[in-house]
Structure 1
Amino acid sequence: MRIKQIYVSGLFGIFDHVIPLNMDERITIIHGPNGFGKTAILRILNSFFNSQYAELRAIPFKHFRVAFDDSSSIEIIKNTDNSEEAQNNNIAFKFCQPYSEPAYFYLKPKNIRSNKEFASIYFLDSILKERNTPQKSLDFRTEETLISEKTSEEAVENFDNLWSSSWRLQKEPEWLEKLKKNIPIRLIESQRLLNLIPKRSSISDLETSSILSTVSAYSDELAKLMQDKFKEYGTISQSLDRTFPIRVVKQQSSADLTDEQLRDQLNELEATRSHLMEVGLLDKDEDAEFQIQPQDIDESTKNALSVYVQDVEKKLSVFAEIASKIDLLRKIINNKFAYSYKEINFSKEKGFVVTTSYDSSLSNSKTLLPTDLSSGEQHELVLLYELLFKVQPNSLVLIDEPELSLHVAWQVQFLKDLQDITQLADLNILMATHSPDIIQDRWDLTVELKGLQK
């Protein structure tokens, strides 16, 4: 199930947009002037499919309709009446399928768990009208201070989190849950260099967040992914090695397998193993090479080697997916980093390993921290890492302003790199950009947002 078309009316009270998605090449580009709603469209999509309902409440629009390739559709309808009841943000979801009656789901304040929680939300809502006044409020769920002498901007952030979590506590109908599971969506925002890491205080047992460089967080995350795969490889190896002797004894002679075919299989395994060492997934071990000479193969060794080949193929297959992603990431990044005399490799211990070939009198070190990279280099690395490692297959990925901090030459290459990634990771892309250098001559993938007719 894939999204075929997006329609929005009354966006900011002004704009109506129709966005057909490119179903063949799986990349659609939204292009238009500032203020026409490119980012808002991405955020509405993300907030609905990821149940972040506070955002739906915050963005002004009348109708938002998503049509799918199976002829079904979902429509988000906001009550734009100025009455007091409408101010309570009644939002309806209307799901239509061929030959079926429409299904509805309503978001209303009465869906909130208690009057006390409702009261706390509405107290915080009043802060929107006094954005520069320090406020104090109580979280009625815990009877503890929620906001203490904080600025209204912080209060608004707490308000949004509270409202969103309150609405998420609703029991959504089965058809709505199923719809969202069928369309995984991830938003890659324009601000992508800082990462909020949740932490729980051991003293107060309250969850807070700390800000960490995204490129550092992803470096640590990749190291963990590589370590996990190596552990899985070790577990499979131990299991196969324990049963290897008995399986060799029971192995039936294979007359169809020639000595030349066996040598080819062994050489192919060595090439695979060398590549896994190169991308940092296997440790370099000279003893791992298994060179077989023609005179070494007889009928008895052929049986043993046949079992050995099968075992090594099973062991190394653990790395197939992550190795292909690391390989593509390294290829794309190093093609760009070459301009600044840098190179990226990967290790199970450090994740991203950045080195420079430039001799500087200021430092003897050839190794750089990921945070030593330029803003543009970090943007590129973070964006590509998200696409390859943080998005599940067949997702729709929403990318806001991929051109940020990128040199023109990198923008020109971006779409080609994106096509390689979408094929490998099995993704659909909807991105918003101002950059004609990103689009190049691919206006066939582009939907230009229009203003009001004059």
Structure 2
Amino acid sequence: MPEKNPDKGSEVLQRIEVEDLFGRLSYNIVPEPPADGPGGISDRLMLLYGDNGSGKTTILKLVWDLLSPATSRGHRSRVARTPFRRIALTLSDGTVIEAIKKAELVGDFVVLVHYPSRRSQIRVDYEVNSQMAIRYDDLDFGDISRMTTENILKLSRKYGQKIKRNDDGEYLGFLKDCAIAPIFLADDRIIYSDLIDEEETARAERRPQGDPDAARRSVSEEVLFCMDRLSQQLRQLTIGAQAIGSQNATSLYMDVLERLGDTASDSRVVDDVNLEKQIITLGLRNEKFEQLGFSPSFPAGAFLTLVSKLDDQAKQVAKGVLGPYFVSLEKRLDALQEAQGITQTLLDQANSFLRGKYLTFRPREGIRIVTDSDSLLDPTNLSSGERQLVLLLCYTMLARQTSRLFIIDEPELSLNIKWQRRIIDALLTCAANSGIQFIVATHSIELITGYRERLVRLANTKRT
């Protein structure tokens, strides 16, 4: 199981309340406290388990739409079209985002943001047009609410706060300030996010239906797409290290001259660093970066051979010359540490599942799938489970740089039972130290093994 992370473990979403979903389902979704305590690795996981028809997918979509600020993706229109009476999302700081339908289960609705420490709250009224859509240029963001005074007073008494009317600029600004930027991996294996270009999403949505071979090719294209995006992101992380290398060149040579001057005027030891130990440590560390193509080879063996031939006085001179060089290498590796850690974690997790093939990465080629005989493998030649695995892990790595909430519908699709038991651990490991929370809807008993305290069974609380 992944290690506990006390610094970035806090969840984004604590509770989901739904009333009259489809007119017949009501839920209070709140997991038990995590077994490893607040800030633990499982604190970043919420598992929804329910039968077919329980509304799991619809709830995930509502969460994604209510927390996404983009005005051109249809978020508010989908909320209007989804039949429910009320949904409330409680964030980790106690803030509640509430959407309430005004009359019918579909159509006009109001969004309220209740801060835990303020009396003045955000209120936005949304009205639909004849196509049951929210049109920003059609709305009059004034006093357009159709809620009765009695209902407004009830809400005010419930939260003990004054409700303030506002246009949706404040609400959308609030969502942007939260920087949750949710990512939704739907059961069609299309990734949905405000951060992904609309053209790319449209391309995925145009996948052919009913043709197994065409569908297989389309899913394979999605695998290539996410691998390419992640490769670009990993390359971007190395740019800072390249800048550090060039910036340190001048200071390195100046430091060498200063140390040579000190050594020439003082025969005492330049510092307490053991030169041989420093070479060995640097060589071992550099190997991890060299294997991924992030750093050139460091000839530790050759350095040690040469140093072993020096007398004590010559070693002091060598320390003065090599010291700044070694420091510059350490700084470069420090700058590459995030990229190396993310890449190695991805490869370790993916390759612990795969057999007869494995993922590799080099900055020039990017992420590739290779057979044990070193032949490049196209994603169309992967099994459906292998494609699902690569998608989940790569998208998790993408999410850690841009999002605080990764919503996944049925990650168990196409995964065998053994993989289902391990996939949650793998996702949490890939997201370690990022603060991402996962909200996962599943039918799989195997998937929840080890995280039962974070499981919420969807039990209808609506009285009939």
Partner of residue 108, structure 2 = 89
Counterpart among 257, 266, 273 of residue 279 in structure 2: 266
Q: How does 1:81-230 map to 2 (within 5 A)?
A: 81=104, 89-98=108-117, 100-108=119-127, 122=130, 125=131, 163=134, 172-174=168-170, 176-182=172-178, 184=180, 185-192=182-189, 209=203, 213-230=221-238
Partner of residue 303, structure 2 = 291
The answer to whether the 8 Å contact 1:270/1:290 transfers is no
Counterpart among 15, 28, 37 of residue 18 in structure 1: 28
Can you give the 5+ residue segments of structure 2 that lack an aligned partner in the other structure?
Answer: 1-9, 70-74, 142-166, 207-217
Code of the residue aligned with 1:233 in structure 2: it is: A
The answer to whether the 8 Å contact 2:183/2:403 transfers is no
Deviation at 1:427, TM superposition (A): 1.8
2:397, 2:309 → 1: CA distance? 45
The answer to whether the 8 Å contact 1:183/1:396 transfers is no
Counterpart among 323, 341, 345 of residue 360 in structure 2: 345
CA distances 1:309-350 after superposition (whole Å, capped 9, x unpaired): 221122122221121111111111111112xx1121112233
Counterpart among 87, 90, 109 of residue 64 in structure 1: 87
Counterpart among 9, 18, 21 of residue 19 in structure 2: 9
1:273, 1:440 → 2: CA distance? 38
1:54 lines up with 2:77 in the alignment: yes
1:433, 1:88 → 2: CA distance? 29
The answer to whether the 8 Å contact 1:7/1:18 transfers is yes
Partner of residue 242, structure 1 = 250
Counterpart among 67, 72, 76 of residue 99 in structure 2: 76
* 3-state SS in 1 of match to 2:412: coil
* 3-state SS in 2 of match to 1:367: coil
Counterpart among 377, 384, 387 of residue 368 in structure 1: 377
CA distances 1:378-431 after superposition (whole Å, capped 9, x unpaired): 111111111122334771221110101101110011122233233243322211
* 3-state SS in 1 of match to 2:361: strand
Code of the residue aligned with 2:420 in structure 1: it is: Q
Partner of residue 30, structure 1 = 48
The answer to whether the 8 Å contact 1:352/1:370 transfers is no
1:310, 1:267 → 2: CA distance? 14
RMSD: 3.4
User: More relative contact order in 1 or in 2 (CA 8 Å, sep 6+)?
Assistant: 2
Code of the residue aligned with 2:112 in structure 1: it is: F
- Closer, same or farther in 2 for the Cα pair 1:168/1:372, shift >3 Å? farther
Q: Which shifted more, 218-227 or 433-442?
A: 218-227
TM-score (norm 1): 0.75
1:239, 1:98 → 2: CA distance? 47
Higher strand share: 1
Partner of residue 6, structure 2 = none
Q: How does 1:258-337 map to 2 (within 5 A)?
A: 258-260=272-274, 262-282=275-295, 285=297, 291-292=303-304, 293-296=307-310, 298-337=315-354
The answer to whether the 8 Å contact 1:394/1:428 transfers is no
Code of the residue aligned with 2:272 in structure 1: it is: T
1:372, 1:173 → 2: CA distance? 48
Deviation at 1:208, TM superposition (A): 7.2
Q: Which shifted more, 319-328 or 217-226?
A: 217-226
CA distances 1:172-224 after superposition (whole Å, capped 9, x unpaired): 34365234432512222222268997559xxxxxx974766121112222332
1:373, 1:165 → 2: CA distance? 44
Can you give the 5+ residue segments of structure 1 that lack an aligned partner in the other structure?
Answer: 110-120, 127-159, 201-206, 359-364
1:75, 1:416 → 2: CA distance? 32
Code of the residue aligned with 1:258 in structure 2: it is: D
1:366, 1:432 → 2: CA distance? 36
The answer to whether the 8 Å contact 1:400/1:432 transfers is yes
Partner of residue 421, structure 1 = 430
Deviation at 1:307, TM superposition (A): 1.4
Counterpart among 399, 402, 415 of residue 408 in structure 2: 399
The answer to whether the 8 Å contact 1:12/1:60 transfers is yes
Paired-residue identity, %: 20
The answer to whether the 8 Å contact 1:71/1:97 transfers is yes
1:216, 1:430 → 2: CA distance? 25
CA distances 1:425-447 after superposition (whole Å, capped 9, x unpaired): 33222111000010125321210
1:437, 1:356 → 2: CA distance? 29
TM-score (norm 2): 0.73
Q: Which shifted more, 264-273 or 411-420?
A: 264-273
* 3-state SS in 1 of match to 2:47: strand
1:209, 1:165 → 2: CA distance? 25
Q: How does 1:354-393 map to 2 (within 5 A)?
A: 354-357=369-372, 366-392=375-401
* 3-state SS in 2 of match to 1:403: coil
1:216, 1:167 → 2: CA distance? 40
2:316, 2:393 → 1: CA distance? 49
CA distances 1:137-196 after superposition (whole Å, capped 9, x unpaired): xxxxxxxxxxxxxxxxxxxxxxx7xx4776999863436523443251222222226899
Partner of residue 209, structure 2 = none
- Closer, same or farther in 2 for the Cα pair 1:36/1:64, shift >3 Å? same
1:224, 1:393 → 2: CA distance? 14
1:437 lines up with 2:437 in the alignment: no
